[in-house]
A and B are shown apart, each in its own frame.
Chain A
């Protein structure tokens, strides 16, 4: 079974690739569209991945797929199915990816009554994997655009397009301000 590794391929020239993993295809598509709309100097290549990462291995023709710079796991707090899918997919990601090149995005937190997953569950998940967690209502265009901006910026850093800042730097910056590491508590 093939596992995603961050450095097993050569980087593309002036490109960056993000992998979005989540069950709700339509929303991932919209997020990807929003990211593309963002002005940016680098040419961005975006992959949209949905569901069954565990079952559908990366397509045999690995040659076509460039190096993945950032993976965002999208969880819908209204659906236990989406959390289950993300948890299964996480097993197929190499540990070295979690040095700043993975993030979690939780949507649907605004409607408490519809949430079947508690916010703490995703927070714990993100803490376990030492990765940043964003909350966003992807269905609202304004919020989606904001998250898209942040993701584009994060992607640029993870792909090495921002001089002086690496993915690991960014991770420690994010952690110290939002999510203190368990040993710091």
Chain B
């Protein structure tokens, strides 16, 4: 056989192969594009960045979805490879297509439309965070620069942190601006307050319990009791060694070995009926619940709670109302009778 004969054969095989690939790729494209809801079609195609502006302009986005999909597939399959299809798939999965600039302008617009005199400043920070400073004014007064509100919004999460707002009437507006600008439906105020942003972040993003996987829980306890022996005079004997070890173990199980996030308060608002062991107790006969506010304060509340049982001030395990604080992400509680 001459070389010339072989080549066409090979080319023919290749082109058949390419055709097969095209069919599977086309199918993949079709299915991927079908998955995209019509409302997000334009945004996703733009984010995918494969079809040019011109090409997109030429497509009729108002037709029925099946026809639209066919048009798009035709456009794609001429140049697109299976890798481009995979990229489109990734873009579809990443539903949260967040545009920082759009968020900022939207946020500013909402506030400025509602209040004439308001000054909004932005600063981009690490980890997809944006710091927002808002100086509030009124209809007749310029923004007060000495009482601003700071908001930190983490765009990849549904959380924003705000400093306390001196003008309480502006809080709903602030919430609304955040909600709308970030494409969410509603905003919920968490009952979690602290002066330390890092601690709030640690609690909310569940980053406070960083323990290593290879941690052997038995060895540290042995080390601890060795420490006790070294410092102790042999003439001092602890009778309740077993109980002490139990308390240490329970404390470690509850609080872990990591350093606790820093909170200053825990507040419990009780609206409960008075419970008493005595019969005929006047307070217990009241029909309305008693209102009572209990506040725990400390420079470092969680560390203080952690040290209560080992110091002998409280029994271990502590009340779950105290130990649930980082887990639930709350330090302001309302307790009512069920």
Interface residue ranges, A against B (CB under 8 Å):
22-26, 29, 32-33, 36, 44-52, 56, 58-59, 79, 81-82
Interface size on B, residues (CB 8 A): 17
| Contacts A29-B236, A50-B238, A79-B313 known; 17 new A-B pairs at CB < 8 A | A22-B312, A24-B312, A32-B233, A36-B233, A45-B235, A46-B233, A46-B236, A47-B237, A48-B238, A48-B239, A49-B239, A49-B240, A50-B240, A51-B240, A52-B243, A58-B239, A82-B312
Bound together, the chains give a CA A58 to CA B239 distance in angstroms of 8
**Is A56 in contact with B311, judged by CB distance below 8 angstroms?**
no
Contact residue among B237, B311, B314, B315 (Cβ-Cβ distance under 8 Å from A25): B311
Task: Please name all residues of chain B whose beta carbon is closer than 8 Å to the beta carbon of A48 when the two chains form the complex.
Answer: 236-239
Cross-chain pair count, CB within 8 angstroms: 59
**Is B236 in contact with A56, judged by CB distance below 8 angstroms?**
no
**Is A51 in contact with B236, judged by CB distance below 8 angstroms?**
no
Task: Please name all residues of chain B whose beta carbon is closer than 8 Å to the beta carbon of A49 when the two chains form the complex.
Answer: 238-240
Interface residue ranges, B against A (CB under 8 Å):
232-233, 235-240, 242-244, 310-315
Bound together, the chains give a CA A157 to CA B157 distance in angstroms of 71
**Is A56 in contact with B237, judged by CB distance below 8 angstroms?**
no
Minimum C-beta distance from A40 to chain B (A): 12
Minimum C-beta distance from B306 to chain A (A): 15
Secondary structure at the B interface, as helix, strand, loop or mixed, is loop
Secondary structure at the A interface, as helix, strand, loop or mixed, is mixed
Task: Please name all residues of chain A whose beta carbon is closer than 8 Å to the beta carbon of B240 when the two chains form the complex.
Answer: 49-52, 56
**Is B235 in contact with A36, judged by CB distance below 8 angstroms?**
yes
**Is A56 in contact with B235, judged by CB distance below 8 angstroms?**
no
**Is B233 in contact with A56, judged by CB distance below 8 angstroms?**
no
**Is A51 in contact with B313, judged by CB distance below 8 angstroms?**
no
**Is A23 in contact with B237, judged by CB distance below 8 angstroms?**
no
Closest B residue to A79 by beta carbon equals B313
Bound together, the chains give a CA A50 to CA B228 distance in angstroms of 15
Minimum C-beta distance from A60 to chain B (A): 12
Contact A81/B315 with A36-B235, A48-B239 known, Cβ cut-off 8 Å:
yes
**Is B312 in contact with A25, judged by CB distance below 8 angstroms?**
yes
Minimum C-beta distance from B230 to chain A (A): 13
